[in-house]
Amino acid sequence: MFKGILIEKDDGGYRAALTDISEDSLPEGDVTLDVSYSTLNYKDGLAITGASPVVRSFPMVPGVDLVGTVQDSRDPEFKVGDQVLLNGWGVGEVHWGGLAQKARLQGRWLIPLPSAFTPAQAMAIGTAGYTAMLSVIALEKHGVTPDKGEILVTGANGGVGSFAIALLARLGYAVVASTGRVAESDYLKQLGAAEIIDRATLSEPGRPLAKERWAGAIDSVGSHTLANICASTRYRGTVAACGLAQGMEFPGSVAPFILRGVTLAGIDSVNRPREDRLEAWARLASDLDQSLLPLISHEIGLSEVLEVAPQILAGKVRGRVVVNLAR
Q: What average pLDDT does range 244-269 have in this prediction? A: 96
User: What's the pTM?
Assistant: 0.94
Taking the alpha carbons of 191, 160, 288, 80 in that order, is the dihedral positive or negative? positive
Superfamily per CATH, domain 2-113+292-324: Medium-chain alcohol dehydrogenases, catalytic domain (3.90.180.10)
The neighbour count for residue 81, using CB atoms within 10 Å, is 9
| pLDDT of 318 over the 90 cut | no
Could you say which architecture CATH assigns to the domain 128-266? 3-Layer(aba) Sandwich (3.40)
Is the predicted pLDDT of residue 281 greater than 90, yes or no?
A: yes
Q: Do 176 and 194 form a contact (C-beta atoms < 8 A)?
A: yes
Q: How confident is the model at residue 313 (pLDDT cuts 50, 70, 90)?
A: confident
Domain ranges of the chain: 2-113+292-324, 128-266
| Amino acid present at 181 | R
d(CA 94, CA 91): 6
Strand ranges for 139-289 from DSSP E: 151-153, 175-179, 195-198, 214-219, 233-241, 263-266
Rounded CA-CA distance 255/262 in Å is: 9
Q: What is the mean pLDDT of the chain?
A: 96
